[in-house]
Amino acid sequence: MRIRLAKGADAEPLTRLINAAFRVEQPFIEGDRINPEGVRAYMKKGEFLLAEDSSGLVGCVYVEVRGDSGYLGLLGVEPKRQGAGLGRKLMEAAENFFREAGCRAIELRIVSARTPLPAFYRHLGYVETGTAPFPAEVQTKIPCQYILMSKGIA
């Protein structure tokens, strides 16, 4: 497996991967997670790290440097490959990306209804720092909010 930075031509396959990985949110969020225009908008502000193997694109994570901290999001793994440690490898790659960029901390947000996620990130050293409301334009089937988490890095 190799990890590389996404290019413009990756927008459509990346959209398919993210939407497949985030299908678990369909019980509480309406529609797809993202479209190709949304991926391209993210690419203008930050980068996607892509994990590939001989079968093609199998994982991604969005990274954006914001001053001396980094924002991490859209960690996604091909559904058939989930549970095999690929998410953890992408998190390590993201943390290395931020260290090399001179960041001192990493921030992320997760959907409150995805109850297994806080424990996953706590295991990686992240701590909960608060909550934030969902944007009004996001249609939810149940009440949801974001759980904010962060981690200091050296």
DSSP code at position 114: -
Supply φ then ψ for residue 26, to 5 degrees. Answer: -60, -30
pTM: 0.94
Domain boundaries along the sequence of the chain: 2-152
Structure tokens at 21: 């990985």
| Core vs surface per residue 6-18: b (16+ CB within 10 A) or e | beeebbebbbebb
Hey, what CATH class is 2-152 in? alpha beta
pLDDT in tens, the chain (154 residues): 899 999 999 999 999 999 999 998 888 888 888 999 999 999 999 999 999 999 899 999 999 999 999 999 999 999 999 989 999 999 999 999 999 999 999 999 999 999 999 999 999 999 999 999 988 888 889 999 999 999 999 7
